[in-house]
């Protein structure tokens, strides 16, 4: 076989190797660390209603709730109805103002 005849075989093989190496890095990435047990508690978070949904308020909500996951929900966001003990949902209106804060 001549070298130029091997080119159609090498390109798919090289692509597969690069794709596998790239996806392997995604699998090894560690998740976020959570202080406490990761269970959400929204009993003391009503201060946030009416506040802007900015990064500072989201970080404070995450810290004070103990949630492992903070999920901002905009007015057109479709959400699943599953319940997670570690998720805080922050509901926002079109002006990015927090309208509700719930563990669900």
Domain spans in the chain, listed from the N-terminal domain onward: 46-103
CA angle 90/39/82 to nearest 5° reads: 60
**What's the residue count for the chain?**
104
Q: What is the pLDDT of residues 32-79, one digit of tens each?
A: 555 557 789 999 999 999 999 999 999 999 999 999 899 999 999 999
| CATH class of residue range 46-103 | alpha beta
DSSP assignment letter at 63: H
Residues of the chain with pLDDT > 90, as a percent, come to 57
The percentage of the chain sitting over the pLDDT mark of 70, rounded to a whole number, equals: 65
pLDDT band with cut points at 50, 70 and 90 for residue 3: low
DSSP assignment of 5-54, as one string?
Answer: HHHHHHHHHHHHHHHHHHHHHHHT------STT-----TT-GGGTTSB--
What pLDDT is recorded for position 37? 73
């Amino acid at each position: 076989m001549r070298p130029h005849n091997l080119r159609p075989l090498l390109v798919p093989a090289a692509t597969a190797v690069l794709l596998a190496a790239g996806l392997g890095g995604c699998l090894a990435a560690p998740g976020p660390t959570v202080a406490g047990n990761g269970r959400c508690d929204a009993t003391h978070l009503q201060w946030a209603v009416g506040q802007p949904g900015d990064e500072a308020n989201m970080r404070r909500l995450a810290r004070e709730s103990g949630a492992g996951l903070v999920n901002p929900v905009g007015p057109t966001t479709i959400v699943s109805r599953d319940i997670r003990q570690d998720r805080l949902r922050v509901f926002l209106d079109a002006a990015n103002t927090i309208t509700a804060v719930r563990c669900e």
